Chains A and B, each alone.
Chain A
Amino acid sequence: MGIWDHAVMGFMSVFSGPEAFSILGVGISITLIMILTGFLMGITVGATPGLAGPMAMAIALPILISIFGFSQDAFLPVMGFLIGIMKGATLGGSVPAILFNTPGTPDAYMTTLDGYPMAQKGQAKKALKVAHLSSVSGDTFSDVVLVLCAPFLAVLVESYLDLPEKAALLILSLAFIAAVIGGSVGKGLISMGLGLLAAMIATGEDFYPRLTMGSPALAEGFPIATAILGVLILGEVFKSIEDMIRSGIQSAPRPAATVAGDRLSFAEIRRLAPHIARSSVIGTIIGALPGIGSTLAATLGYAFARARYDNKRSASDPRFGEGAPEGIAATEAANSAVSGANLIPVLSLGIPGNAAAVFLILGMESIGGFNPGPAVFRVPSDGFNPELIMAFGLFTAMFLTNGLNWTIGGVFMRAVGVMARVPKEVLLPVVLLLTLTAIYVQENTMAAMWIAVGFGVLGYIMRRVGMSPLPFVIAFILGGKLEETARQAFAATGGDAFFLFTHPIAAAFMVMSLAVIVFNLRKPSP
């Protein structure tokens, strides 16, 4: 079967999965329900300051696995839900940013700059509409690029990269992530080294589980989800509760104005269009590179747009920072365009680029039958490749979510402004309990809860000393793979100790790794 048959089967698999219920005799597949639920939940979570998309994905994943199990049937419902959250949260983050001057998610910070002034001028509804239009446009563009690029890249990787090159590529990705995330290369490397170390505990070829000091609780190694939930969620919860104890609880924000205002005219949309287009491209490029993430995309999109806008601005238009719709458009298009493109390295290489991608990879790896990497896009000479069908199912789910986003996203986002009033001091302890419970249900032992708390303390300390936990998480996920690939490359080359340097492409990747570190060291620290 050719690639087209796979695409059609993937498309169909989203609609024909196990039925949730039927309307007028037409079955509605459980996947569709999960996509919708995930999307609405994502908007809600994004609109809640203190919760972010990746956090909700992290808590949802063990629960989803408990519900749907590990079989291939679970793939689309679970991944559809996660993708729904990811996309919804990006949109939802702009709501409190515009209404209350509090970004719901970190990447929505730039949205406050023009969104809140617009709301103060009584144009809240218009600001939300601009945010919605730009966010959906950026997101959709990014998904199109994903569908066009990921298979192509995967085929390239498959035909040109053998084991030594694959090992070198993993090293390059890690070097890039350590150097780029956070302000300091040194701290990025420490964080990454710790992640590699955590991945080494109890693994290895020998029957003695290494570095466990003989403790049976560690003999299986750190469960991946447990450690990551600990660092990313518990660490954040521990820090936020302490902040509340120190500086007191801030009272719920008051809306700047009633949610009412102007409509968005066609002429205005035409004026916004170039800003949306530019930011979509910026966001997509940034998203495709591992480790940089949506916050930088938003910053860059905003900066470029301001430069253009200041040149052409007429005297009556508001400046950037004083309520210019173009500012919102540039920010939201850029940070939303990250979400599709960050699946390019995930699907074609199995390398996660940011926190949301981490949980997508975890989801794929927990469920049997789908291993992100170049093998996904292989078209067999006879029969079919189930992974390729699943990949197309995933693409279909993404475009369905975009469809929901275009149609009901705008209406729903205007309804969730109220989430900014949920008291954080109640929310966070409940999130803590839910996370611990989700971990227990997966691992069935109190030891896992202790391990999660231990990693939570690590995540807390990292945040306090200004070290990003993301290199830790990504190195933890890739560490095992890196060691395995290196072992295999060493064995397959017949024990060539310099396999990373004797193959030209591998050597090029190694040089690039070094360059990326050195370049970022020379950059003046901010």
Chain B
Amino acid sequence: MFKHLTGDKWLGLTAVIAALLLIFVWVPLDIDTGLVEKVRRQIRLGDSLGPVTAGVVILLGGILTWMRPSADPQSLSVDNLKWMATLAVTITVSFVVMRFAGPMVTSLLTDTPYRALRATPPWNYIGYIAGGALLVATLISLARRKVSLSAALVGIIASLVFALLYDLPFDDLQLPPNGDV
């Protein structure tokens, strides 16, 4: 039955289902006050009213999109989903490296905890430059469909430049991941 659904019909259907779930499941479960509430013997608008309004707007949009699909509908293809997955892996790995490279290197080489060194060069750059370079180099390599030294160089230079750009002039700013440790 779903074969006859064009991209916009799918989109409309998804929006309608999401809106109904929002209004009838998520809002009642995850908000403590109703559409209106009584406080100090006065009625005031509750916390649920805004989200329900948002849900109604999505619902309306979904119905309209379902009823009036555009002539040349676009939709997500399997290839798009594959790209999303590739991107998710690339970003996750880069962020993990960014978060943990600094503490790991520090614990291997010194007895001082990373937290105490998080504002001290060169330790505070390790994670950012490793993770940032990995992210940039991987994406360039994917776009060029080949792994190259130049991609890695661009990554290292870019992250180094940004690190110095933020860290040298400004005392109060922290590079990733130094606000988390």
Contact = CB atoms under 8 A, between A and B. Distances in A.
Interface in A427-475: 428-430, 432-434, 436-437, 440-441, 443-446, 449-450, 453, 457, 460-461, 464-467
Given A196-B54, A211-B26, A486-B45, A429 B135 contact: yes
Contacts of B175: 437, 440-441
Interface string A490-526: 1100010000000000000000000000000100010
Point out which of A186, A245, A432, A465 has the most chain B C-beta atoms below 10 A from its C-beta.
A186
Nearest to B22: A197
A193 B154 contact: no
Contact of A466 (B43, B70, B87, B166): B70
Contacts of B53: 196
A200 interface: yes
A425 B154 CA distance: 11
A193 B20 CA distance: 13
Given A187-B61, A197-B22, A66 B170 contact: yes
Given A245-B143, A446-B99, A490-B45, A479 B58 contact: no
B54 A197 contact: yes
Contacts of B42: 491, 495
B113 interface: no
Interface in B71-101: 71, 73-76, 79-80, 83-84, 87, 91, 95, 98-99
B95 A450 contact: yes
Contact of A190 (B65, B75, B91, B135): B65
B126 interface: no
Contacts of A211: 26-27, 30-31, 51
Contacts of B130: none
Contacts of B32: 206, 208, 210
A196 B47 contact: no
**Which of A66, A190, A199 has the most C-beta atoms of chain B within 10 angstroms of its own C-beta?**
A190
Contact of A189 (B7, B45, B58): B58
A192 interface: yes
B144 A190 contact: no
Interface in B11-63: 11-12, 15, 19, 22, 26-27, 30-33, 42-51, 53-63
Specify the main secondary structure of chain B where it touches its partner.
Answer: helix
B119 interface: no
A28 interface: no
A444 B180 CA distance: 7
B104 interface: no
B105 interface: no
Interface in A193-245: 193-194, 196-197, 199-200, 203-206, 208, 210-213, 238, 241-242, 244-245
A183 interface: yes
B145 interface: yes
A308 interface: no
A457 B47 contact: no
Contacts of B59: 193
Contacts, number: 213
A425 to B, nearest CB: 4
A425 B145 CA distance: 11
A213 B30 contact: yes
Contact of A183 (B27, B54, B70, B95): B70
Contact of A490 (B44, B84, B91, B162): B44
A461 B56 CA distance: 21
Contacts of A54: none
A487 interface: yes
Given A193-B58, A197-B55, A437 B50 contact: no
A489 to B, nearest CB: 9
Given A187-B61, A210-B32, A213-B30, A244 B70 contact: no
B166 A487 contact: no
B179 interface: yes
User: Which one of A191, A197, A450, A453 has the highest number of Cβ atoms from chain B below 10 Å of its Cβ?
Assistant: A197
B139 interface: yes
Given A187-B11, A430-B158, A193 B75 contact: no
Nearest to A174: B57
B5 interface: no
A67 interface: yes
Given A67-B170, A211-B30, A241-B139, A525 B55 contact: no
Given A186-B65, A428-B139, A490-B45, A445 B179 contact: yes
A371 B46 CA distance: 26
B74 A190 contact: no
A434 B161 CA distance: 10
Contacts of A178: 57, 61
Contacts of A196: 50, 53-54, 57
B23 to A, nearest CB: 11
A254 interface: no
Nearest to B10: A465
B79 A246 contact: yes
Contacts of A66: 166, 170, 173
A487 B45 contact: yes
A156 interface: no
A81 B66 CA distance: 44
A186 B12 contact: yes
B139 A491 contact: no
Contacts of A483: 45, 49-50
A510 to B, nearest CB: 14
Nearest to A489: B45
Given A210-B31, A433-B158, A491 B44 contact: yes
B140 interface: yes
Nearest to B145: A245
Contacts of B73: 466
B75 A464 contact: yes
Nearest to B150: A426
Contacts of A183: 70
Given A66-B166, A186-B67, A445-B179, 12 more contacts: A67-B169, A193-B19, A193-B58, A204-B50, A210-B30, A241-B143, A245-B83, A249-B143, A433-B136, A441-B173, A444-B174, A449-B95
9 contacts: A187-B65, A189-B57, A193-B19, A200-B54, A242-B83, A245-B142, A436-B176, A449-B176, A466-B74
Q: When A and B form their complex, which 9 residue pairs have the shortest distance between CB atoms, in order from nearest?
A: A189-B61, A186-B64, A186-B65, A444-B179, A193-B58, A193-B57, A190-B61, A196-B54, A425-B143
